[in-house]
Amino acid sequence: MHRHGYKGRKFGRERDQRNALIKGLAESLVRDESIETTLPKAKEVVPYLEKLITKAKKGDLHNRRQVLAGLSTVASAHKLVDEIAPKLKGRDSGHLRIEKTRLRRGDQAQMARISFVDDLKEAPVAKAAPKAEATSKPAPAKKPAAKKAEAK
């Protein structure tokens, strides 16, 4: 039998259930920033969410609506576009990491943790730098004026 055209894992589910599973895992990962699931599910959800992150980084209306369609809740979609995507601007791809963790006790399934490669707790560097420069530039300009006033 040929293997052409059979893309993706089935997970013993029909198409609608499988799509809902992937969408729910992606939504949990955006909400919690790290989840633990089985290794095959992790390998399926990472490319799905990578594409959504790329769309969220563009941030225009059309891509925002596509992110809304790709995640199960509006709050998680807004979090991805407004909070997470600006912190990932320095990276073109490879935003997520899969780490094997343990074997599940009941059926010995390989478990894996999916998390973001970059630390999302840090503020974006691009926004912090202009504020620091803006506050430091006026200070030296005022000092020479103060010296001239003291000299008179």
Q: What is the pTM of this model?
A: 0.77
Q: What is the pLDDT of residues 74-133, one digit of tens each?
A: 999 999 999 999 999 999 999 999 999 999 999 999 999 999 999 888 866 444 444 445
Q: What is the pLDDT of residues 58-72, one digit of tens each?
A: 999 999 999 999 999
Domain 15-119 falls in which CATH fold? 50s Ribosomal Protein L17; Chain: A, (3.90.1030)
| C-alpha angle 76-81-67 in degrees, rounded to nearest 5 | 70
State the residue for tokens 């895992």. 25
Domain spans, the chain: 15-119
Give the DSSP letter string of the chain: ---TT--S--TTS-HHHHHHHHHHHHHHHHHHSEEEEEHHHHHHHHHHHHHHHHHHHH-SHHHHHHHHHHSS-HHHHHHIIIIIHHHTTT-SS--EEEEEEEE-TTT-PEEEEEEESS-TTSPPHHHHHHHHHHHHTHHHHHHHHHHHHHH-
Answer with the residue of higher pLDDT: 53 or 124.
Answer: 53
Give the DSSP letter string of 94-138: --EEEEEEEE-TTT-PEEEEEEESS-TTSPPHHHHHHHHHHHHTH
Backbone angles phi, psi at 108, to 5 degrees: 60, 30
For a pLDDT cut of 70, what percent of the chain falls above it? 80
